[in-house]
Homo-oligomer: A and B are copies of this chain.
Amino acid sequence: MIVKTPDAYFFAQGTSEGYMPLNAFDGALLASGIGNTNLLRMSSIVPPGASRMKAVSIPYGAIVPVAYASITSSVKGQTISAAVAAAFPDDLTMPGLIMEYSATGPQEEVEQICRDMAVHGLLDMRNLEVGRIESTSISHQVQNVGAAFAAVVLWTLDNAGLK
């Protein structure tokens, strides 16, 4: 492979206020636990057989493949929510599908839409029975400049010292 294929993943989420939108985004990354790394955003497949792991501490500045939803807003009082969902097929030789969704609106609604998107992607688009769905979401009420961030971090057991 051009880049090593991940064999593990974990969820992360966070919110923050900040001086400018990018600062709020940066703060949300920090709150999520992966703030001091270089996020490499990608479209969004969990390789077959990848293990869900606990969140690990990633070395500062490491380049980290990630699928994420984020939203920033400067509208005071507005509720912003971000969610990611991963749907895994019954057939464990097939990959999991990650969907990302963010919107103004309540957290439960945004997470539910995101889960529906992941199910739709497996069942209707790939004709695969859904074995399980995993998801996370987070919500924030904007004070001045706010951000919400939810992610599936793709990583390796090796790098996490678990192999």
| This protein's copies in its complex | 3
Q: Is the CB of B23 within 8 A of A121?
A: yes
A2 surroundings in chain B (CB, below 8 A): 3-4, 6, 63-65, 154-156, 159
Sort chain A's interface into a size bin.
35 or more
Which residue of the partner chain B has the closest CB to A2? B4
Which residue of the partner chain B has the closest CB to A37? B45
A117 surroundings in chain B (CB, below 8 A): 19-20, 22-23
Q: Is the CB of B1 within 8 A of A62?
A: yes
Which A positions have Cβ atoms within 8 angstroms of B? 1-6, 16, 18-20, 22-23, 25-27, 29-30, 36-48, 50, 59-65, 67, 94-95, 97, 99-101, 113, 116-117, 120-121, 124-126, 154-156, 159
25 A-B residue contacts at CB 8 Å? A1-B59, A1-B63, A2-B4, A2-B65, A2-B159, A3-B40, A4-B63, A18-B125, A20-B120, A22-B99, A22-B100, A23-B99, A23-B121, A23-B125, A27-B125, A29-B43, A36-B94, A37-B45, A38-B42, A38-B43, A38-B44, A38-B67, A60-B94, A60-B95, A61-B95
